[in-house]
Amino acid sequence: HAAVPGESLQERWPDRARTVALVLAGDRGNAYAAAQVAWAHACTPPGGTLYIAGDRDKGFDRYVRLAGNAFGAGEVVARDGGMRVAKLIRRPGPTPALPDPEGFKAFGVTVVGLPGVFSAAKPDKATALMLGALERLDPDGNLLSGKDVLDLGCGTGLIGAWAARRGATVTLVDGDLPSVRSAQATLAASGLTGAAVHSDVDAALDPAATFDVILTNPPFHVGRGVVLDVAREFIAAATRRLRPGGTLHLVANDFLPYEADLRALGEVRETLREAGFKVLTVTRA
């Protein structure tokens, strides 16, 4: 049962569990950890036990202190290298409020970013460069009107909502559920319609679904390392989903070697190179 911090689990689990386990996502920021703690508190009855697991180098001690403010004092009960597990017993008291979403306005879109979602408070530079380049290629805003557009790895939904604002029928997908919830909220806040789908790349889409345009700013970091597997999965999905004559626009850091993979679709054109980024465009033959 997939859910994000703050969503009710009562329908699936009517009675709160006496034991709750929480794995901290230390690389998603303080607001997401605070949301996790508040959610765990709401799911744990007084006297219930919370186990928190996390990385000492990614804020574990800080987040355990945060949990202790609501639950009461706890103790570390297991260690393995930098990993830690703490145990806390919930005392009676009110559940902390969830952190408010962040957001911004850009490219005619009102963006809503839930805690922990990439680029929740301001436009990602690469995304902004790509949308700016596409607007310069289409100053009248007509090229996407009536088109079926896929935003692959949608994050907060800025790219897909921008396309919807220009008259496209949009589908936004992301493997991260808080990102999908953010994209749904972005569409609603912007007065736009579209489908935001929780999906491992394109696996949850109708097998027959294809698109006129695919827009993507694929992730390439795992921790501090550069890993291109996800981006290559995105490109493989584009080969399955792009209609003949359809176009893929991909933005990336300029040192990332995506051109060879993209040539499976057609001729690769570099439509922008600026500030350490490039926008690559491929039209399927």
User: In 79-219, where does DSSP find H-type helix?
Assistant: 125-137, 158-165, 177-189
83 and 150, same domain (yes or no): no
Residue 231 within a domain: yes
Least confident of 25-29, 137-141, 156-160: 25-29
Please write the tens of the pLDDT for every residue from 90-114: 999 999 999 999 999 999 999 999 9
- Please tell me the predicted confidence (pLDDT) of residue 285: 85
Paired residues of 50 in beta bridges: 20, 88
242 and 111, same domain (yes or no): yes
- Please tell me the predicted confidence (pLDDT) of residue 219: 87
Query: What does the alpha-carbon distance between residue 101 and residue 120 come to, in Å, rounded to a whole number?
Result: 8
- Please tell me the predicted confidence (pLDDT) of residue 25: 85
Residue 77 within a domain: yes
Shortest CA distance to 12 belongs to which of 23, 1, 22?
Answer: 1
- Please tell me the predicted confidence (pLDDT) of residue 224: 59
231 and 274, same domain (yes or no): yes
- Please tell me the predicted confidence (pLDDT) of residue 233: 95
**Average per-residue pLDDT in the chain?**
95
Q: What is the CATH number of the domain that holds 226?
A: 3.40.50.150
Q: Provide the greatest CA pair distance for the chain.
A: 65
Query: What does the alpha-carbon distance between residue 97 and residue 109 come to, in Å, rounded to a whole number?
Result: 27
Shortest CA distance to 158 belongs to which of 119, 195, 204, 102?
Answer: 119
What tokens were used for 54? 């996390």
Shortest CA distance to 175 belongs to which of 34, 18, 54, 2?
Answer: 2
133 and 194, same domain (yes or no): yes
Please write the tens of the pLDDT for every residue from 7-42: 999 888 899 999 999 999 878 999 999 999 999 999
Q: Where in the sequence is the domain holding 67, given as residue range(s)?
A: 19-89
73 and 184, same domain (yes or no): no
CB atoms within 10 A of CB 178: 26
Is the pLDDT at 177 greater than 90, yes or no?
yes
Please write the tens of the pLDDT for every residue from 186-234: 999 999 999 999 999 999 999 999 999 999 999 875 555 666 899 999 9
Distance between start and end Cα atoms, the chain = 41
